[in-house]
Amino acid sequence: MTTISICLVGCGGMGSRHVQGFARLLRSGMSNVRLVAVCDVRADNAERVAGEAEQLLGYRPKIHLRIEDAIADPEVEAFDVVTEAFSHLAVVRPALEAGKHVLCEKPLALTVRSCRALIDAAKASGAVLATAENYRRDPTNRLAKAVIDSGLLGPIHLMVQTMIGGNDRIIITPWRHFKDKGAIGLDMGAHLTDIVQYYFGDFATVFGKGFIAEPIRRRQEKPEMQTEAYIKRFLEIPEQITATGEDSFIAHYTMQSGMPVQMSYIASGPGKGWNQRTIHGRHGSLEIFNDRTGKAPILHTAEGDLTGQALADKIGFKLDALTEKLYGGVSYEMTWAETDSGLLAIEIHDFAQAIAEGRPPEVDGMGGLTAVASVLAAYESGIAGRAVTMDEVMASAISTYQDEIDADLGLLPKSNAV
């Protein structure tokens, strides 16, 4: 098996999680990568992640403190970029221009133009550009997709995706509440729209809006995870911030097939959370549970309910070898950390295989773009006061929300920004 030499760029909390993904892949016996280097502008973070890699992988990767040095390193064939979303253009584009392959965390970039700049750079150099979308890799979503494709639901009338509920706390990091940094509406929304396009293909039209549900955000009472990276970051978070970027959006999508999707993501409203991912057809409905919980989807029909391995057997579905090795089946009981690292291992493995086999990755740059563009389409619809087509959003024919960001990124003249 060909082994791809990778440099991890970004040594914060997500960097630590990706190291766990490399380690999980190594333990599977199916690894096709070697983590040869880590890169971060903060030496303390780079040293910490290099130490974590040494403990988990049995060797210590080299450290780079500048992306230019990492790109110039002849040992590095590819990059796994997990920096903040607003830095992706500055980090990923020069790597692609140098002919280095890149796996980039979602959202791929903050605007349609910036996503296209990365796609164009990859096309020009012939490098592989992959978008790190982990939710679709979950065995439960693999089974859900197979059920949809099997025809068991009959003609499908509707998909509903709802995530509503929260509080006024800062979600993970302060930058996820600032428009120019990539706020949580886009950050989380790209996960949800990618699931929709994974299930049903291309978007056609969007009517919706984005908004700030909680304008003042306060620091969490404790870190999201009790790891060194998250604890350290928690101590650097201010007590309070004023949000400038959307933490919520509501959208009605029509897919190219004509099927409608109702989506609501509102990161606000204490007391109760509302979560629903359901698909409704003439012959029944499919209930799909939260990602990374291990709970298999349930098919509801007039004949009764079917779930788990029985549902998989009904349609002749089997997991691929790596996913089966990591999870053992279409439903599973694991810690959150084990579940998370397995999904990251799968996306890293697919990226390396794409390089080795000269094929597109499962989620390429265009897949990353459409996940971002479909969220931004809801924002643009709200500003325009009408439904928008994905064609006009993808062509940047409508881009009022994005123009200011693009001007800051140097993709538009400042005079074009509203």
> Taking the mean position of all CA atoms in its chain, how far away is CA 49?
21
> Which residues of the chain, if any, have pLDDT below 50?
none
pLDDT for 418 equals 56
- E strands, 267-326, are 274-281, 284-288, 298-301, 304-307
Bridge partner residues of 241 (DSSP): 217
pLDDT of 201: 98
pLDDT of residue 411: 97
Distance CA 183, CA 342 (A): 26
Q: How many CB atoms lie within 10 A of CB 97?
A: 15
CA distances 46 to 76, 91, 162, Å, are: 16, 16, 37
18 Cβ contact partners less than 8 Å away, ≥ 6 residues apart: 8, 80, 82, 344, 348
Q: Count of CB atoms within 10 A of residue 271's CB?
A: 6
Q: What is the distance between the alpha carbons of residues 408 and 109, in angstroms, rounded to a whole number?
A: 13
What is the predicted pLDDT for the residue at 417? 60
Q: CA gyration radius for the chain?
A: 21
CA dist., res. 348 & res. 132, Å (int):
8
| All residues at 6 or more sequence positions from 313 whose CB lies less than 8 Å from its CB, including other chains | none
**pTM, two decimal places:** 0.96
Provide the pLDDT for residue 298. 98
β-strands 304-307, 274-281 pairing: unpaired
Predicted confidence (pLDDT) per residue in 201-241, tens digit? 999 999 999 999 999 999 998 887 787 878 888 888 999 99
Distance CA 197, CA 224 (A): 29
Separation CA 57–CA 53 (nearest Å): 5
